[in-house]
Amino acid sequence: MLEIRDLECGYGPVAALKGVSLGVGEGELVALIGANGAGKSTTLRAISGLVKPRAGSIKFRGEEIAGADPAHVLAAGVAHCPEGRRGFPYMSVADNLAMGAYLRRDPIKVREDFDRVYSDFPRLAERRAQPAGTLSGGEQQMLAIGRALMSRPKLVMFDEPSLGLAPTIVEQTLGIIRSIRDDGATVLLVEQNAFAALELCDHAYLIETGRVVRKGAGKELIADPLVRAAYLGG
Ligand code: ATP
């Protein structure tokens, strides 16, 4: 579904990605793990068109999307749930969800998706008229996930969905991500919590300073000495 080859990206003089190649098959849950600053978020930003690659290719369902406009990538079926739960704090929960569907022209199905998000996240249903900025951290994370789902994505990318959440909410959030995959979407997950990500995923890539240094099934990487030493506390 997604095939990235030799991707290079940077910010001014900073080379953030130095030739990343990775693949995500249809229906898979794939994790990107690695330390702060390794280039995980930049990879997601390049896919969604927020960062223009300097070199390399990004193919989504056979179409070259490297350098494409973010609206085009979204319309093609890629949703990006960014780090930090960025939403529209002064807008209501319902309006924030509606923003996720702004490109869609199928109002009946959009209505169905509203109902689905509200049934998956009853807290959002209760607070639908409230400004998003008044929600707790966990609720804002649910809202960010719900907003991404409102575009009915084929591929949904999550950047650090568990960051700053209480442990019980982390488990709940990762459970929701698994169920999104079980419902038929393909998931690319960036996660600081390497162990949780490796347990959840089909396969994973370890990124260090802009390069993929390990790839394999989640279980293989959990057993890998380099991964154990650097990311799983030995
Ligand atoms: P984190 O978990 O901290 O977000 P990451 O693996 O997602 O880490 P990136 O955010 O992709 O890493 O950062 C890769 C490199 O690019 C780092 O060296 C970072 O300092 C740099 N970088 C990221 N965003 C910017 C920016 N807006 N301007 C300049 N440099 C940036």
> What is the atom index within ligand 1 of the atom nearest the CA of 44?
11
Domain that holds residue 193: 1-74+183-233
* Number of structural domains the chain divides into: 1
Asked if residue 16 belongs to a domain, the reply is yes
Task: Name the residue with higher pLDDT: 18 or 173.
Answer: 18
Asked if residue 81 belongs to a domain, the reply is no
Per-residue model confidence as pLDDT tens digits over 192-225:
889 999 999 999 999 999 999 999 999 999 999 9
The two three-digit tokens of residue 135, written as one number: 């929600």
167 pLDDT higher than 90: no
Cα-to-centroid distance, 113 and ligand 1 (Å):
33
Per-residue model confidence as pLDDT tens digits over 42-87:
999 999 999 999 999 999 999 999 999 999 999 999 999 988 767 8
What percent of the chain is predicted at pLDDT more than 70? 99
Asked if residue 13 belongs to a domain, the reply is yes
The rounded mean pLDDT for the chain is 93
What CATH code is carried by the domain that includes residue 47?
A: 3.40.50.300
Asked if residue 34 belongs to a domain, the reply is yes
> What is the atom index within ligand 1 of the atom nearest the CA of 45?
11
Question: ipTM score of the complex?
Answer: 0.94
What is the pLDDT averaged over residues 140-149?
90
Among protein residues, the one whose CA lies closest to atom 29 of ligand 1: 11
25 pLDDT higher than 80: yes
117 pLDDT higher than 70: yes
- The pLDDT-based confidence of 234 (bands split at 50, 70, 90) is low
Strand order from edge to edge, sheet including 78-81: 78-81, 155-159, 186-190, 29-33, 203-208, 211-217
Binding-site residues, ligand 1, Cβ < 6 A: 11, 14, 16, 34, 36-42
Asked if residue 67 belongs to a domain, the reply is yes
Computed on alpha carbons and rounded to an integer, the radius of gyration of the chain in Å comes to: 17
